[in-house]
Amino acid sequence: MAADYGYRLIPRSELSDALTNTPACEDTTSEACAEALAAYPGARLVVTIEGGNAVTITDAASNARWSATELTSGKQGEELLELVSQRADIAPWAMKAFRADDGRLYLSAGRANGLEAGDELAIHEPGTLVRAPNGQPITWRAGERVGTVRIGELFGSDLAALVPVAGQRPTPEHDLILIED
């Protein structure tokens, strides 16, 4: 059902390993946890479900965090995906690069996300979350564009090596946004 909404779920074992090995994820609803999981294993949205129907969503792309929302429709799977879709709409698809122990830059995204070798991503300074007067996140503005990287090599369905093309090299703080033709 998630694929019908354009989402790729991170396998439970991969997510469990990442949560166990990421100190920032002692609180899975924190922005720090979302940022860490954005780099690896590539989570854009971190959805925490407590008590079976209270959902907290944190968006690593925009640094938005929505307080707990109760799922009440009786069709919780569909309701959750609709809620996630609404929350994701405030920012474009954006990812974070990471440097692995081999010294290369990687992106936790690949074929499963529709990426192909040769695709280019714009490197942006951190963006700005815009909130309504009541504090509700409503949109996100990308930061200044400071460079470009290209997908050099794909590994499996969800990992890509990055090749710097122009400007600054990406750091874990930069947002990488796909350049549409």
What pLDDT was estimated at residue 2?
A: 57
- Residue 87, class by beta-carbon neighbours within 10 Å (0-12 exposed, 13-18 middle, 19+ buried)? buried
Report the residue count for the chain.
Answer: 181
In tens digits, the chain (181 residues) has pLDDT values of 555 656 777 887 888 888 898 898 888 888 888 888 888 888 888 888 888 788 888 888 788 888 888 888 878 788 888 888 888 888 888 888 999 999 999 999 888 888 999 999 999 999 999 999 999 899 999 999 999 999 999 999 889 999 999 999 999 889 999 998 7
The pTM for the full model equals: 0.82
pLDDT of residue 78: 84
pLDDT at 119: 96
- Using the structure block, give the residue that is written with the tokens 């796909």: 178
| Distance between CA atoms of residues 61 and 177, nearest Å | 10
pLDDT of 3: 57
How many Å apart are CA 103 and CA 94, to the nearest integer? 22
